[in-house]
Amino acid sequence: MWRGIRVLFLSCLALAALVRADEHSHKYKDGEPVRLWVNKVGPYDNPQETYNYYYLPFCAPRDAGKPKHKWGGLGEVLQGNELIDSQLEVKFKVDVPKKVVCASVLDDGQAATFKKAVKKHYWYELFMDELPVWGFVGLPPEEAKDDQHIYIYTHKSFDINYNGDRIIQVNLTSEDLQPITSGSQVEFTYSVSWAETPIHFNRRFERYLDYNFFEHQIHWFSIFNSFMMVIFLTGLVAMILLRTLRNDYAKYTRDDDDIESLEHDISEESGWKLVHGDVFRPPPNLALLSALLGTGVQLALLVLFVILITIAGTLFEERGTILTVFIICYALTSYVGGYISGSYYARHDGKSWIRTMIITATLFPMLFFGIAFVLNTIAIAYHSLAAVPFGSIVVVLLIWMFISIPLCLLGTVVGRNWNGWPDNPCRVKRIPSPIPQKKWYLTAPVIALVGGLLPFGSIFIEMYFIFTSFWNYKVYYVYGFMLLVFLILTVVTVCVTIVGTYFLLNAENYHWQWTSFLSAASTALYVFLYSIHYFMFKTKMTGFFQTCFYFGYTLMFCLGLAIMCGALGYLGSSMFVRRIYRNIKCD
């Protein structure tokens, strides 16, 4: 029995070693088969509108009933990838002269499908040894004279470069134009040629990176401009703290024997000092604000962790890896969200902590899942690869239910018991003070709306690069820039929100909690408005499908950005408010 188990174990190890000797280890022996995987096709101007490669009447695999699929990680499936073995004969370092794959006579439906693909400028994606290869179905639509003169490429020429026993580059050239008419015979062919290259294996992905675009001088200038904005805003906040508040502190820290002068100053006092008995009053909708703060801090840590992990591991080289890391990190950081939410809610004497925990654990996922459900329904109706398979949806839900929610519950319990005691510098009066009427530009809605302008200005240029990489087939790899922009956004958001909170309190309006949150969150509003401009003037997207996916994905991004920025802005304002009221004699 034990001998049989040992033989089985050694057989499995040998099989694993055999499997990992090819595209897993990226090492091949001379003459060893190299798989060519077909992935998807779709209109070039609509990046998310993708379909199965055999949606077009190309040569199907010989074993059409059971084509071999290659399933990657969770992120790869969620991004709409479906790799199928093309069954083309490709062997390492073995040239293949022009070889017929298949020949077929196009019927009316197949001819119409190819014509539609050429008119909409369809592209397709292939993979060999984890390297992507792209090609177009036919000539660009503008080169077609009329509907009767539409041509497709019928020959694929693969030029493969290798170094030692590894594949370094795969180039595809589409050739042999043939007209598309019903009843015409089309012969699909391919050829393979191999050539040695001195490029090292660890540099083979560099050809997919657009250095001239991402490392343009304007990118560096935008970072410098944002850094100068940080210096200006931090200086402004320092001026408020060191100059404006110093005089106010002087009135409240005088000796008790200077009664006359103190009474005179108090009789003339105005501004933020008058609301010391109301400024720490619990905000309305306490449970919702607690959930938003916890989720926002969680998202901020999530973004930071994903950026750092991507920088350390160059995850942009692997399909779907960043999305997988994002999902796992979100689940693991749920503890932080529960801790922040539970402790904040308890410090303000909240009683329904279970309800708050449920809101914290479900708020952002439900918003995300709601938008994703609508988009997935549209993708299913269009038979697109963008539709997420049911199995992947179940996996995401299981991660959320059995990792994220329990960690959020644990964080809530720990937060409310360890950090849930009220520690306000001033007592809260029983009767709320009336809020005087102020000029329009000192009202809470105006301060909240204006508060997002400068943070948006600090990330405006980076938004262009991120949008272009996501919607225009560029690989975003400058995560060092993204880290700097994230830190700059954090500092600018906190500084702007502090200044807005100071103006609001000086207007004797003590409803600063929601105002500070919305002031920082309004950054996302300007990002969404910019996305409309980008859609109209920077892309050529058309159709209901792509429009829904563009604004659906953008709405997901903006909701996350709003919650994250709102939480950061509120925390900065909270520290500021506690600092200025801590040293005054307010009893």
209-249 pLDDT tens trace: 988 888 878 888 888 888 888 888 888 888 877 766 676 66
- Rounded Cα–Cα distance for residues 58 and 174 (Å): 14
pLDDT of residue 405: 97
Angle between helix 479-506 and helix 217-239 axes, rounded to 10 deg? 30
pLDDT of residue 8: 36
Going by DSSP bridges, is the β-strand pair 83-85/36-43 parallel, antiparallel, or unpaired?
antiparallel
- Rounded Cα–Cα distance for residues 307 and 481 (Å): 10
Q: Could you say which residues of the chain have pLDDT below 50?
A: 1-21, 256-257, 262, 266-268
For 112, residues 6+ apart whose C-beta sits below 8 A from its C-beta are: none
215-251 in b/e form (b: 16+ CB < 10 A) is eeeebeebbeebeebbeebeeebeebeeeebeebeeb
pLDDT of residue 73: 79
Quote the mean pLDDT of the chain: 87
pLDDT of residue 371: 97
> Nearest CA to 225 among 450, 460, 449?
460
pLDDT of residue 271: 76
Residue appearing with tokens 């204006």:
450
SS3 330: helix
- Rounded Cα–Cα distance for residues 321 and 411 (Å): 27
Judge whether 121 and 44 are in contact, CB under 8 Å.
Answer: yes
Q: Biggest alpha carbon distance in the chain? A: 107
DSSP state of 146: S
- Rounded Cα–Cα distance for residues 347 and 294 (Å): 14
Counted residue by residue, the chain has a size of: 587
- Rounded Cα–Cα distance for residues 170 and 316 (Å): 18
pLDDT of residue 231: 86
Backbone angles phi, psi at 181, to 5 degrees: -140, 150
Judge whether 382 and 49 are in contact, CB under 8 Å.
Answer: yes
- For residue 15, the one-letter residue type is L
- For residue 550, the one-letter residue type is Y
SS3 172: strand
> Nearest CA to 205 among 296, 318, 111?
318
> Nearest CA to 482 among 308, 314, 233, 326?
308
Angle (CA) 254-256-257 rounded to 5° is: 105
Question: What are the start-end ranges of the H helices in 314-434?
Answer: 321-332, 334-347, 353-381, 390-399, 405-418
Give the count of alpha carbons within 13 A of 580, CB side only.
Answer: 30
> Nearest CA to 194 among 215, 164, 216?
164
- Rounded Cα–Cα distance for residues 492 and 415 (Å): 28
